[in-house]
Amino acid sequence: MPGTVVSWERWIVGTAVRVTYDARAGVRPPRRNIRLDKPGNSSISFYCKEARVPLLTRIRGPRDLDRLSLEELDQLAGEIRTFLVDAVSKTGGHLGPNLGVVELTLALHRVFESPKDKVLWDTGHQSYVHKLLTGRQDFSRLKMKGGLSGYPSQAESEHDVIENSHASTVLGWADGIAKANQILDRDSHVVAVIGDGALTGGMAWEALNNIADGDRPLVIVVNDNERSYAPTIGGLANHLATLRTTDGYERFLARGKDLLERTPVVGKPLYETLHGAKKGLKDFIAPQGMFEDLGLKYVGPIDGHDIEALESALARAKRFGGPVIVHCLTEKGRGYQPALQDEADRFHAVGKIHPDTGLPIATSGADWTSVFGDEMVRLGEERTDIVAITAAMLQPVGLDKFAKAFPDRVYDVGIAEQHGAVSAAGLAHGGVHPVFAVYATFLNRAFDQVLMDVALHKCGVTFVLDRAGVTGTDGASHNGMWDMSILQVVPGLRLAAPRDADQVRAQLREAVAVDDAPTVVRFSKGAVGPAVPAVGRVGGMDVLRESGTDTPDVLLVSVGALAPMCLEIATLLDRQGITTTVVDPRWVKPVDEAMAPLAERHRVVVTVEDNSRVGGVGSAVAQALRDAGVDVPLRDFGIPPRFLDHASRAEVMAEIGLTAPDIARQVTGLVSRLDGRYGSAAAESVEPARD
């Protein structure tokens, strides 16, 4: 590009200069003739090395990797890590897992031909490098509205398949896709990347059992970094650890074959005898027999940061033509010292951080999770029968302090929510009170166990649901928007929705006091706001605002963390001349017996919940009113029955109309219709409340 002008700084102190050089297109000599033009028309000429163009900027798709040398691939791996640290530090996201799969992802996309070959991720939080290599390099709005999802997304790219981000499902997906390829006679491969943490889930082993019963081409890559969030635990983790520290059997057998086949007379028969005893010998030298007992070929362990070794192993697996496990050893947080020094979870997921130090850019106040965690420690000190259960998420659900104080009273079951729930039933039957802390969306996986093992047997188990309601940036699969619907059908179960930190503490204590039924305490993600005081009590319900009249218009039923919003709604309605009583049921299941008599004193009942409208608290209240013969109009506000795209919590709530002005406007219209004032002027005049 002749006459290119490049800005230049710091070369000549105290002067502003520009660098001008000539370059012929397509020619990249190692040095350029540079002329520095200074004020006063004087100039300096000298030779300077040309700045290296980042390789990452040239990658627009997986096939762009094919022409790179090993040296260039190593350079690209370094550039990707630099990009990830810089980009994710600005937006937050899953940093540690992606730093660990850079070379593995490069090798996968060089050996396989995505999207013809399907590359599947379990879980999808480790797909950032995959996104970069498939044409998605704008991470400026990662996990934000209109930006890239933090997980694979079919809407983003034809290279993406699984979006659900719930662990241990990938092998079932891979099995189904491989079967479809066989039926439709497609010449394509399926590659399933599963972390050692996800491999602790029972679904993964159900799928392995089915995958082994066939000869379909399917490559299972075990990304073994010894962690899911925290270090992976359990018998499988110990088995993988043994494999990590053992020399490969294949090399041993190859050396033995070479030696014995050169031994006269007895050599070949002896080798065949040894080969016939392959399983026993193999278990002695490298105990990967567990996989081969299932009928799965095993390759590894492989250095997950050696691109050449990875490509060789993956190519062999691809040629095999049947199910193969490739065991790769990776390092979570690789290349970023702050992550490597974080023993808790190697920067599994971070907020906005300083890229040089890894320290948070800003600190927030107490969050819901920490309030629960601190209260658990206090309960543990008071009651020796309280134990805690986590499904591979000790720190994210706030049980790390309890584990430190009472290490013998914490059980990490791995990514196995079903087992966790059943084990909790057994613990309760044995005379202790288990508290199973889990993300609300992940309790979906254990519904049958909650119903048939815990509730049916009247076991005193407390389930604590973190990240309940709209969580926002993690997308559709992480919103905790179904629990208050699916749990409504469980006989005997009691469900609490605390509105603030004080209520988390109080209702957790109330929950663990129940020893003849399951209890649930659910709360939101993020910072917990100031206390919302009650001004009275009706039955077991807290009154947050009195109507100030004997004939109030609206009974506003506020569920959980939406209490401040409901108080704002009441203020907006008051400006329209609509009197409102605001109550917090505290325990939303069963519906408080005082609800129906209280509703009968009002003209309209409105429920507001951070849960699906279908079968949620609003539906339960409506049924309770019908059963009591109370004929009062009810309007329920909640989350519509659809999957929500990633965005901030506030943006999602605004999109679905779950804001104070939106709700006040609709309630105003409803009351106006009851009054016979069918015009829309009153409803349209509702504006947000101001302090």
Q: Is residue 528 part of a domain?
A: no
Q: Same structural domain for residues 379 and 477?
A: yes
Q: For residue 83, is pLDDT > 90?
A: yes
Indicate the pairing of strand 634-639 with strand 433-439. unpaired
Tell me, yes or no, whether 558 and 674 share the same domain: yes
Domain identity same for 558 and 578: yes
Residue 631 lies in a domain: yes
Residue range 28-55, pLDDT digits in tens: 444 444 455 444 555 555 445 545 679 9
Residues 104 and 156 in one domain: yes
Position 118 pLDDT exceeds 70: yes
What are 129-142's pLDDT values in tens digits?
999 999 999 999 99
Q: How confident is the model at residue 271 (pLDDT cuts 50, 70, 90)?
A: very low
Residues 585, 595: contact at Cβ < 8 Å? Answer: yes
Domains identified in the chain, total number: 4
The whole-angstrom separation of Cα 621 and Cα 618 is 5
Q: Please report whether residue 86 resides in a domain.
A: yes
pLDDT of residue 365: 76
DSSP-assigned beta bridge partners for residue 655: none
Q: Which of 465, 492, 522 is the last residue of a domain?
A: 522
Whole-number Å distance between alpha carbons of 141 and 133: 18
User: Tokens standing for 61?
Assistant: 């798709």
Band of residue 630 on the pLDDT scale cut at 50, 70, 90: very high
| pTM > 0.75 | yes
234 and 104 in a common domain = yes
What pLDDT does 584 receive? 98
pLDDT on residue 678: 47
**pLDDT in the model for residue 524:** 94
pLDDT the model gives residue 51: 56
362 domain-assigned? no
Is residue 62 located within the same domain as residue 209?
yes
- Residue 142 in contact with residue 87, Cβ under 8 Å? yes
pLDDT in tens, 544-553: 999 999 999 9
pLDDT for res 285: 40
Residues recognised as catalytic = 332, 417, 445
Residues 582 and 619 in one domain: yes
Specify the pLDDT at position 262. 54
Mean predicted confidence (pLDDT) in 250-278: 47
Supply the pLDDT for residue 213: 84
Q: Binning pLDDT at 50, 70 and 90, where does residue 166 land?
A: confident
**In this structure, what CATH number is given to the domain that contains residue 582?**
3.40.50.920
Q: What is the DSSP letter of 231?
A: B
Which CATH number do you get for residue 327? Answer: 3.40.50.970
How far is residue 511's CA from residue 494's CA, in Å, rounded to a whole number? 8
Mean pLDDT value across the chain: 85
Query: Which domain, by its residues, includes 612?
Result: 541-684
Domain boundary among 51, 66, 82: 51
pLDDT grade for 566, boundaries at 50, 70 and 90: very high
Task: For residues 67 and 215, state if they share a domain.
Answer: yes
- Examine the domain organization and report whether 189 and 305 are in the same domain: yes
Residue with tokens 């990707």: 80
